[in-house]
Structure 1
Amino acid sequence: MAAPTGGTRDGSPFLGCLRRLARHAVAALGLLLATAALAADPAALRVGAADDDLSVLLRMAKSTADLPRAGIALDMESCTSGADCVERLLRDDFDLVAASAFPIVFAGLAGHDVVIVSSIATLRNSVSVIGDRRSGIADAGDLAGKRVGVVKRSSGDFVLDSLLLTRGVDPSLVERVDLATGEMPQALVQRRIDAVVVWSPHRERVAQALGPNAVSIPIPGLYTASYNLVTTRAKLARHGAAIESLLRELATAEQRLDDERQIIRLLPGADARSTQNQVDAWQRLHPSLSIEPSLVQQLRSLARWAVREGHAPAGAGIDAAGMVDSSLLRRVRPHATERP
């Protein structure tokens, strides 16, 4: 006997309709889940930094933070220097880089729309002048008429000028030899130069190469290096949310670092000398998520120096205040821009 129309057999129009509705519902659910998964994917952020003590907060965040959960897919790569990092930022190799103020200022003087979103460390007495005793160098005044190895257009170049002027030495009386920091120890040993302007870890290598002939020339607080996170305005607009998330992870890393400092001080049986060396290094290096009130003035000063020394065209300038954007930092740490 034939089943009545509209019955409940597998081939009935009623069940066919249900199956079609179910297929559409599954497809819609799949699309919804795929869209949600896409939205939950961490934002890719390409970050460049030199592999040195100044980038300690970045390294800590990368190694210990749950960055994907924070919404960041961090692709961090080493640069040879801050200048290299900034150059690669402008070539679109990176979205965010860490660098001192010098390459940032030079990028601004060249017309690039670079912007600092936060400093991540400051370092006092970061640059040293080391002379060769065999060349008759005992103090800054003895540098007149000597050959000094220096990285041109760098903090070392600026510090050398400042040191000579404060000691009453005409900078034009010093012959500057443009050298990479890695070339300086050998150049001194071979007596191709008489002194160098250098920073860690190359400072220690220079002193070791010269041995008892190394003379460290005091630099009385002429320069405090700031290590900054910098991007471009276009990249800031595109990656602002990911950069803000990274700043939050860096703030957490800073707190962990502060805790570790206290722990090392209190370790029972810790070697007193090595602990004191560590404390001394920390006193010079201050990893901190902040923007110091003096940063804008430092950018202006460096730009004026660069133009005066012919490192930039006459009449070139920067909008120093416009090169610092603290809006993301203030969301993470509201009082970070108010530190004395």
Structure 2
Amino acid sequence: MKNIVGVGIVFCLGVIGLFYFHPLELANDSGKPSVRIKIAVSQTPLSSPFIVASHFNLFEKRNLNIEVVPCFGGVACAEALLNDEVDFATASESVVMFKSFEYQDIALLTCFVESGSDLKLLTKSISNIRSVSDLKGKRVGIVKASASEFYFDSLLIANNLKAMALERVYLPPQELNRALLEGQVDAVSVWEPYGYLLMSTSEEILNLSLDGIYQLTFNLLTRDATEAQLSDETVEILTVLENSIEWMTNNPKQAQDIVAKALDIPSAQLAWQWEDYTFRLSIGNALLSNLQLQSRWAIDSNLVEGSVPDFRQVLSPRALEQVLHSQVRRP
């Protein structure tokens, strides 16, 4: 059985004395033959620890044979995992929640970033929509079964508009901006970088968001069988993420330059988002509560069928615990 250790396991990044590691010094002396591992990584700044790790070849330096498989959004990444196309995937806790109603073998290994303003509800100012209540009878572009949908419904609930009639138009994340600009929908619930791109390319965009209403987490997922088979490799992957985040913390400007170039986005855009991100490895009761809350919302909204999954079985802190309690800390 997977157990949550204590109140929660949180890895706080630190530097001992005057020693600041350089990623190029990372090494693994195990000599163990590498296993080909595929990780579906969402093409978003939320995935920065993976982007930085790939840039400095940190996985290879721990004798990991990693293939990063790009995907657009956590839904697509999770589907690649559940279709056995990859071994690991990155996704928000909302995606984990939805998929747990369908699959009983999802293992959430760690959260690696949190953000309180990554989601936004945007509309065109010329549409005469000035508040969430003005969306009555309108079309709203949403990424189905994702943080996009949970955030939108959270806004409805916060404005006491849960029962308001409107049309949900489900689209892939990369199609939402175009749908709004071309008039196919009246508003969109989007995550970054799509929100920034929309707001920076058109002066007609109005932000209907409410900061702090939803705390997004991005997480590393696998399946039970994979975790059991690749237990040693899982620990090594988390160790790489740990060191990648430490380097990002000590070198924020350089990290932003690397990520902006990898994602082909303006540096100003990434700097605008960066302050909203808290990068750290963690897993605990706050995440558990968030999953339980969202699952009850999904049932009440008739988005899923069945009872609330036992998310204590989904959270799997074993590998992270091993990293935290490792006596040898070397980058």
**Fold in common (TM above 0.5):** yes
Q: Is the 8 A contact 1:119 1:228 kept in 2?
A: yes
Q: Tell me the distance in 1 between the aligned counterparts of 2:48 and 2:180.
A: 31
What is the 5 A alignment of 1:1-340?
40-208=32-200, 211-261=202-252, 280-313=272-305, 315-334=306-325
Q: Does the C-alpha gap of structure 1 residues 68 and 137 become closer, same or farther in structure 2, counting only changes over 3 Å?
A: closer
Deviation of 1:296 after TM superposition, in Å, equals 0.6
| Secondary structure in structure 2 of the residue aligned to 1:40 | coil
Q: How does the TM-score come out when normalised to structure 1? A: 0.77
Q: Tell me the distance in 1 between the aligned counterparts of 2:173 and 2:32.
A: 45
Deviation of 1:48 after TM superposition, in Å, equals 1.2
Deviation of 1:247 after TM superposition, in Å, equals 0.9
Q: Tell me the distance in 1 between the aligned counterparts of 2:168 and 2:100.
A: 25
Deviation digits for residues 21-77 of structure 1 (CA, Å, limit 9, x no counterpart): xxxxxxxxxxxxxxxxx9731233221111221111112222214534423111221
Deviation of 1:277 after TM superposition, in Å, equals 7.0
Deviation of 1:280 after TM superposition, in Å, equals 4.8
| Secondary structure in structure 2 of the residue aligned to 1:318 | coil
State the AA in 1 paired with 2:120: S
Query: How many residues are paired up?
Result: 288
Q: How does the TM-score come out when normalised to structure 2? A: 0.79
| Secondary structure in structure 1 of the residue aligned to 2:230 | helix
Q: Is the 8 A contact 1:99 1:229 kept in 2?
A: yes
State the AA in 2 paired with 1:148: V
State the AA in 1 paired with 2:115: L
Q: Is the 8 A contact 2:123 2:206 kept in 1?
A: yes
Deviation digits for residues 319-338 of structure 1 (CA, Å, limit 9, x no counterpart): 11111111111121249xxx
Aligned to 1:23: none
Q: Tell me the distance in 1 between the aligned counterparts of 2:240 and 2:229.
A: 19
State the AA in 2 paired with 1:257: M
| Secondary structure in structure 2 of the residue aligned to 1:305 | helix
Q: Tell me the distance in 2 between the aligned counterparts of 1:66 and 1:261.
A: 18
Which has the greater radius of gyration? Answer: 1
State the AA in 2 paired with 1:132: K
Q: Which has the higher contact order (CA 8 A, sep 6+)?
A: 2
Q: Write out the 4+ residue segments of structure 1 that deviate beyond 4 Å after TM superposition.
A: 262-265, 274-280
Deviation digits for residues 138-164 of structure 1 (CA, Å, limit 9, x no counterpart): 122222232222122221211111111
Q: Is the 8 A contact 2:114 2:215 kept in 1?
A: yes
Deviation of 1:110 after TM superposition, in Å, equals 0.7
Deviation of 1:170 after TM superposition, in Å, equals 3.7
State the AA in 2 paired with 1:73: N
Q: Does the C-alpha gap of structure 1 residues 189 and 85 become closer, same or farther in structure 2, counting only changes over 3 Å?
A: closer
| Secondary structure in structure 2 of the residue aligned to 1:173 | coil
Task: Percent identity, please.
Answer: 23
